Structure 1
Amino acid sequence: MTAVQTERDAMHRALELALLGPRTGVNPQVGCVLLSPSGELLAEGWHRGAGTPHAEVAALSSLADPADAVGATAVVSLEPCNHHGRTGPCSAALIEAGVSRVVYAVDDPGAASSGGAERMRAAGLEVENGLGAAEVEQAIRPWLTATRLGRPFVTVKWASSLDGRAAAADGSSQWITGAEARADVHRRRAEHDVIVVGTGTLLADDPALTARGDDGLLPHQPAPVVLGTREVPAEARVREHPLPFRQFDGGDLELTLGALYADEVRTVFVEGGPTLASAFIAAGLADELLVYLAPTLLGGPRTALTELGVADIGAQRRLTLTAVERLGDDLLVVARPAAAAAAAEHPATTPPPEPDSPFPLSTKE
C-alpha cells in the first residue's frame, strides 16, 4: 500500500471517529489518527464534547509510549486548533509531542481557533491540507456553516400532502405522515441545539417541542425557542419541557439568530408552521430543508408555505436535492438552497471537493 493510500485510509478512519462525537454544541466533531513513520497505526482519538480533550490530545494520550509520537504523522479531519479555550491548542500539543507531519482535511474557519497550520509550519512540521475535504465538508457541514457565517445552521422542516398542504381546511394536521416519518423527525430534533416554533403554531397545536423515542425522551433535548409577541399560555406544554423555553419577538430573524449564536447555539431546527418556515426561507436563512411528503391529497388553502417573495419565475428559489428517502409510505426530501449551499460550502479559503468523491444522492428504501 502506498503512503498516499495509507493516509487516505487514515483520513477515512479519522472521519469515522469524528462522527462518534456529539453533533450538538459549540465544538466541531473531530477525529485523529496517529501513524508511525512506516505507516502503522499508533493511536486514535476523537472529541467527546465540550470540556473533554480534543481529538489530537486524545490520540496522543492513547499512545502506548509517548515517545512513539516522535516522527509520527497525525491525520486529522479538521485543522488542529490554535487557541486556548477550555483546553489548550492542539497545534501546540502536536509540536510538543514531536509529531513531524500533519495531514488535515478542512481549514478551521474560526476567527479565534484558526492558525494551527501556520503555527505548526513555523515550528518545522510538514503540514498538508485538503485530503478528504469533500467528505469532511459534508459530514460537519452544520458546524462549518455556522462558524463561517457567524450564525446557527438553520434546518427548516415541514410535512405536507402531495398537493403541498400542511393541514386540512379546518386546520387539523395530526397526522399527515406516518409513524416512521414522525420518528425520523424526533431523531433529527435531537441532533439540534434548539427547536424553534412560532406563537401561531404554539397556540394552535400546543406542541411539546421535545425529542422522543419509543422509550420516552431521547438523551439529548433541543432547547425550545418561541418566536412571536403573543403570550405563551401558563398551561402550554412547552412549559413542561426539560429545558426552559426562550421567547423572542421574531421581528428580526437575523438578530434572533445572532443572539442564539452568541449563546453557543450552532444548530436550529425550525418547526413552526407555514408562516415561520416561509419567513426563514424568504430571508435567505434556511440552510437545509426537510420535506416529509405523504401520499395523500387535502386541497384547500392550508399550504405548507406562504409568501416567499417570488414575483416571477425568474425569482424562483432553486434548490439542490441531497437525499430522497422512503420512510414507510412517506418520502423525505432533503434539499438545500442552491446559491447558499455553494457559498457556504466553497468559500475562498476552502479547497474544492475532490472530483473522485462526489456526495451521492441517497435513495434509501
Structure 2
Amino acid sequence: MLPLPRFDLANLNPNCPQSIRAIRPALPVIDRLDEKWLAAAAALAERGRVLSHPNPSVGALIVRSDPVMSLSAVVVGRGWTQPGGRPHAEAAALEQAGQRAVGATLYVTLEPCAHVSERGPACADLVTKSGISRVIIGTCDPDPRTQGKGIARLEQAGIAVTLAHHKPSHDSLRGYLKQRNTGRPHVTLKLAMSLDGAIALRSGESRWITGPEARAHTHRERARADAILVGGGTLRSDNPRLDVRLPGLETRSPARFVLSRSAVPAGWQAIANPEEILALQDIQYLFIEGGAQTAAAFLKRDLVDRILLYRAPIIIGGGLPAIADFGLSDLTSAHGRWSLSDQRKLGNDTLEIYERTPCLPA
C-alpha cells in the first residue's frame, strides 16, 4: 500500500523565507505517486551520506511518462551527492537523463542551490536549462545563498514547483538542517543497556552487554557521524578506539571528542562543557557514546535530538545506570519529550530509536 500524501508545510517551515511561506498554503499538494518518488529520492540521499561531507547528501530522481512503452512513469535519471560534495545530486541525475529530462519531473530532497562556486554551477540553473517541466522539493534550503532563491529561479523559468515539507527528506538532511538553523550539530545519544537499565556491572565491566549485530549497527552509525564524543571517565577506564570496523569504511572513522577539562591523549579533542558543541562549525552529526554522566549532561541541557537505545535481554541487578541524575524534579516535565520512531530486532537485542517531539521542524 502506498503511503498517504504528505502536506505542504512550507508556511511552518523555518528553512523557508517568509516570501515562500506566504504563498504555500498548508494543504495536501502531492499525491501518492509523488510521495513514492520523493521517498525514493530520500533513499538515494542515504547513499551519499557517509562521504558527501562537507556538503549535505541530497537525493534526486527524474521521472517521465513513456507513451512508446505504455508506461505512466519511468525513471530516466538518478543522482545523489558525490564524495566531497560534488557533483550535486541534481547534476548527476540530469547528466544521466540527458535529453530524456525534457518534459520530465524532478524529485529532489533539498531546494536546488542558487549560487555559483568555483566547484560548479548553480543547480537551479542546470534544471532550468534541462527542459524539466515540474519539480517536487522535499524541503527548503536554509543556506542564505539559496533560501527561496532556487525555487524563485525555477518558477521564473516557467517550471511548476511544489514544495512538500517531507519527513523522509527532512530526516535525510537532519544534521545539515540542525546546523544551519541552530548553529549546532544534530546529536544522537547511544545507550546500550540491560533490561534493568544498567550499562555495566558495578565493577565497571561492560564488554559485551549487546551482541555482534547490535555492535555492527553501532559501527554503521559511527560511519554516518562526523564526530564521536565520550566522557572523561569512559576515556580513562576504557580507552575506546571509537573507529569504524566495517569493510570499505575503515577510513571513515569520525573525529574523537571527550567531555573533559583535563589534558587528553593525542588524537582526541577536549570540550569542557556540552555548550561548546555550538563552536563545532564543521560538525553536522555528533554521536555520543557515554557514559552516564555525559549522557546526563547533554540531556539536562536539552542538547540531544535522537536516542539509540540498544536493549539486551539480560538482567544485571545493581549495575551502573545508563544515565546519571540530571536534576529532574517532577515527572510532568519528563512526559511528551520523546517519540518512539522505530523499533527492530538486532540478533537477540532490541533497538529502540527515539526522536525529540515534535520531529518537525528542525
Over 3 Å counting, the alpha-carbon distance change for 1:322 and 1:37 in structure 2 is closer
Query: Which region of structure 1 is more displaced relative to structure 2, 83-92 or 180-189?
Result: 83-92
- Tell me how far apart the structure 1 counterparts of residues 139 and 285 of structure 2 sit (CA, whole Å): 20
**Does the 8 Å contact 1:37/1:73 carry over to 2?**
no
Aligned AA (1:221): S
Q: 1:75 aligns with which of 107, 116, 119?
A: 107
CA drift at 1:142: 3.4
Over 3 Å counting, the alpha-carbon distance change for 1:98 and 1:324 in structure 2 is closer
Between the aligned residues of both structures, percent identity stands at: 36
CA drift at 1:114: 1.9
Residue of structure 1 in register with 2:76 after alignment? 42
Q: 1:193 aligns with which of 198, 220, 226?
A: 226
Alignment of 1:85-164 (within 5 A): 85=117, 86-115=119-148, 116-130=150-164, 133-164=166-197
Task: List per-residue Cα deviations over 1:216-265 (Å, max 9, x = no partner).
Answer: 963421111122112225xxxxx4xxxx432222x2x22x22221x1x21
Which secondary structure does the structure 2 equivalent of 1:207 belong to? coil
**Does the 8 Å contact 1:53/1:87 carry over to 2?**
yes
- Tell me how far apart the structure 2 counterparts of residues 316 and 8 of structure 1 sit (CA, whole Å): 34
Residue of structure 2 in register with 1:221 after alignment? 253
**Does the 8 Å contact 2:201/2:320 carry over to 1?**
yes
**Does the 8 Å contact 1:16/1:31 carry over to 2?**
yes
Which secondary structure does the structure 2 equivalent of 1:174 belong to? coil
Residue of structure 2 in register with 1:363 after alignment? none
Residue of structure 2 in register with 1:204 after alignment? 237
Asked if 1:33 corresponds to 2:61, the answer is yes
Over 3 Å counting, the alpha-carbon distance change for 1:275 and 1:99 in structure 2 is same
CA drift at 1:87: 2.6
Which secondary structure does the structure 1 equivalent of 2:279 belong to? helix
- Let me know the Cα RMSD of the aligned residues: 2.6
Structure 2 gap segments, 5+ residues each: 1-29, 67-72
Which secondary structure does the structure 1 equivalent of 2:60 belong to? strand
CA drift at 1:158: 1.6
Residue of structure 1 in register with 2:3 after alignment? none
Which secondary structure does the structure 2 equivalent of 1:107 belong to? coil
**Does the 8 Å contact 1:321/1:333 carry over to 2?**
yes
- Tell me how far apart the structure 2 counterparts of residues 98 and 307 of structure 1 sit (CA, whole Å): 59
Which secondary structure does the structure 2 equivalent of 1:144 belong to? helix
- Tell me how far apart the structure 1 counterparts of residues 127 and 328 of structure 2 sit (CA, whole Å): 52
Residue of structure 2 in register with 1:360 after alignment? none
Which secondary structure does the structure 1 equivalent of 2:109 belong to? strand
Per the normalisation by structure 1, the TM-score is 0.80
**Does the 8 Å contact 1:22/1:49 carry over to 2?**
no
Task: List per-residue Cα deviations over 1:173-224 (Å, max 9, x = no partner).
Answer: 22222222222212211111111112111001111111213x6963421111
Q: 1:257 aligns with which of 255, 258, 277?
A: 277
- Tell me how far apart the structure 1 counterparts of residues 192 and 325 of structure 2 sit (CA, whole Å): 17
Residue of structure 2 in register with 1:334 after alignment? 353
- Tell me how far apart the structure 2 counterparts of residues 7 and 315 of structure 1 sit (CA, whole Å): 39
**Does the 8 Å contact 1:153/1:266 carry over to 2?**
yes
CA drift at 1:276: 0.5
Aligned AA (1:78): L
- Tell me how far apart the structure 2 counterparts of residues 40 and 175 of structure 1 sit (CA, whole Å): 48
**Does the 8 Å contact 2:225/2:254 carry over to 1?**
yes
Aligned AA (1:319): W
Query: Which region of structure 1 is more displaced relative to structure 2, 197-206 or 77-86?
Result: 77-86
Over 3 Å counting, the alpha-carbon distance change for 1:23 and 1:112 in structure 2 is farther
Residue of structure 2 in register with 1:321 after alignment? 340
- Tell me how far apart the structure 1 counterparts of residues 248 and 102 of structure 2 sit (CA, whole Å): 49
**Does the 8 Å contact 2:63/2:106 carry over to 1?**
yes
Structure 1 gap segments, 5+ residues each: 234-238, 348-365
Aligned AA (1:88): P
Aligned AA (2:206): S
**Does the 8 Å contact 1:168/1:298 carry over to 2?**
yes
Aligned AA (2:334): Q
Over 3 Å counting, the alpha-carbon distance change for 1:314 and 1:221 in structure 2 is same
Per the normalisation by structure 2, the TM-score is 0.80
Aligned AA (1:257): I
Aligned AA (1:346): P
Asked if 1:178 corresponds to 2:216, the answer is no
CA drift at 1:8: 4.3
Asked if 1:20 corresponds to 2:47, the answer is yes
Residue of structure 2 in register with 1:352 after alignment? none
Over 3 Å counting, the alpha-carbon distance change for 1:41 and 1:296 in structure 2 is closer
Residue of structure 1 in register with 2:284 after alignment? 266
- Tell me how far apart the structure 1 counterparts of residues 65 and 345 of structure 2 sit (CA, whole Å): 46
Which secondary structure does the structure 1 equivalent of 2:184 belong to? coil
- Tell me how far apart the structure 1 counterparts of residues 195 and 65 of structure 2 sit (CA, whole Å): 57
Over 3 Å counting, the alpha-carbon distance change for 1:41 and 1:179 in structure 2 is closer
Residue of structure 1 in register with 2:361 after alignment? 346
Residue of structure 1 in register with 2:93 after alignment? 59
**Does the 8 Å contact 1:21/1:29 carry over to 2?**
yes
Name the count of aligned residue pairs: 323
**Does the 8 Å contact 2:102/2:132 carry over to 1?**
yes
- Tell me how far apart the structure 1 counterparts of residues 162 and 240 of structure 2 sit (CA, whole Å): 49
- Tell me how far apart the structure 1 counterparts of residues 261 and 353 of structure 2 sit (CA, whole Å): 31
